[in-house]
Chains A and B, each alone.
Chain A
Amino acid sequence: MLDIRGLHKVYEGSGRRVEAVRDLTFTVSAGELVCLVGPSGCGKTTLLKCMGGLLTPTAGEVLLSGKPVSGPPPGMAFVFQEYGRSLFPWMRVGQNVELPLKQKNLTKARRKELVADALESVGLADAAGAYPWQLSGGMQQRVAIARALAYEPQVLLMDEPFAAVDAQTRADLEDLVRGLWRERGITILFVTHDIDEAVYLGERVIVLSASPTVVQEQLKVDLPDERDQLHTRVAPRFAELRTHVYEQIQAAKRGIPQDAVTKSNTPPLH
């Protein structure tokens, strides 16, 4: 579904040359929920923007269903961390969700249907007439998620979407994303700096190294499909996985390559 091959990004500007992403290669299969974690400042956002067609990579390519991405592809939707700035305050919630649909050739009735359905599935069916700034932070991010869902993407890119909400809201939103993923079968690539979140949400976790970024490790999360905040987070396997990812991130910060830490793709069962 999503193929990243030898992605390399260098920012050039006023005499400074910053290599943000060195060499990234990984794939995301259709219907997978993959979490990307890495130390802060490791170029996660750069990577996501290259994938979303918002930035042009210096070298390498991004393929969506086999086709190279050169601009924002119609089959991809973005959820940004800064929901307050990503939603338009001059539009009501319903209009915000509907705006991207106006670029597609859809009838008015179909657009209405999609908007209502998307708002319903994030639990905001009755908020269509409100302005985003009349809602709480968590609700605003739900609106941004609804906007992405209504767009009917094949791939959903989420850039640290819950970094700015409080812990309780964050737990609710995590369950919402997992629920939507299981219900709708969308491919989701979820970028986060929160290790617990990555392990709790993902089917697979890709650990990135410190900048200039390479893939430090890929890890399959062998937790049951049915997850909930209460039991999953205290399960021994969850603790093992999170400890493992934590070690990898610490190693990444010190600049130790993956092979020196572990050779297996999944941490051994203790």
Chain B
Amino acid sequence: MSGRIACADVPALPLQLLARERKGWRDAPLVVVEADAPEAKILWADARARACSVRPGMRYASALALCRELRAAPVAAEAVEALRVELLAALSARTPRVEPDAARPGVFWLDPAGLVPLFGALDAWAIHVHDTLTDLELTGAVVVGFSRLPCWAITRGIDGVLVLSSPEEEAARAGRARVVDLDLPAELCEALLALDVTTLAGFLALPRGEVGVRFGPVASRLHAGFAGALQVPMQPAHLEPPVVVEAELEPPDDDVHRLLFCIKGGIHALMAELGRRALALGALELTLELERPNRTPHHRERLEPAQPTRDALALLELVRLRLADRRLPARVERVALRAEPARLDGRQLELFAGRRRDPDAAARAIARLRAAFGPHAAARAVLRDAWLPEHRFAYEPAAALEAPAPEPREKGTLVRRLFAAPAPLPSDRSGRPRTTPPLVALSGPYRIQGGWWEQETLRDYFFGERADGALLWLYRAPSGGWFLHGDVD
């Protein structure tokens, strides 16, 4: 059925995303704002909010004056994009050719070509497409027509599914679409309404050249698009499907060495397939299906090499490190390897590299550590602005090393070394801390008291000099107990 195109439209996608996430707000007027700030602009408003005269483009504070019950939150662009990817993947199950609209986040173009034999009729296919939206807790419409924008314009006026029988029907139905439903640029929409142009047919009745003169090239392009004058061929999104290799173990086995041998073969197969696609491996998901009956039917591991790779042996080494200390609760019946493809990072080799720091080697080492001990095994300390000593730095996962850049230190400066955790110290009858050798002097207290908005902490810190000359850093808690928190050298 050549010349057909379908449009799946999920209107106000960010708003639907917000409604899906905040189910407690189901009965309240809802808007999406550009930021969590009173002066933030409203980007999307649901029907309840619009009934209170709240409109996109208003400031949240102004909208609140109109509608005291209004609920608002920003929706991150990443979250919208993630939902679009989710939708794209789901719609791709209905047709191999799906194109997300570049400008409208909830609009997808679908090619129904060749699917009638599979579904019996276009209606049936379109219903399946619509079901896909419903399954994702989204509402929208699906129209099967002949050209893009007219088709989309029709989705704005219907619920559910519509299959158009002819281009003439499409033009007639699209012409009845309301200008306010077409997500036109606000200025164009407002100008058209002022001119009493309320439908798409009215808009299309204006001379296109004059539209361009008065409202600019965007309006002119939209005019052409809605008139069906711009026939852009489908540009389906290309999803890189993961590469999966599976193998059955007969009899089931739990010996790591033998499992590694089995996995080795799978990794080579994965690499071959990735090589064929000119891709590399970004991450490997290893699934070991365990012999039943067993409480945990699977054992999963995820490994990330230092950078996308096609080095099977290096990857196998990471698998070995990860599995080395794993105790499997049952024998493995089946092994599945799932490679997440990634582009190879093309870098020029350095011919005359001398003996310098090798960041790649460091990255490889870190990858091995992460493989062996988990993704949090490698971390680096970063400074934080806080009073409490343990809050003045934090560890964050590190996947690579940066060259150190220590701040210059004055000669003779003492260094305070902080213990990983404060160690309790006994105290004598007078309440002074006891150490071995004993303390001969205490200087303080230096009080740190804060965090009251979460949980208040109060400590009186002291510097203590031990009889052997060691300088200790200790504190007294409100309970009277003493803790050694560091030393000074």
On whether the two chains bind one another, the answer is: no
Residues of chain B whose beta carbon lies under 8 Å from any beta carbon of chain A: none
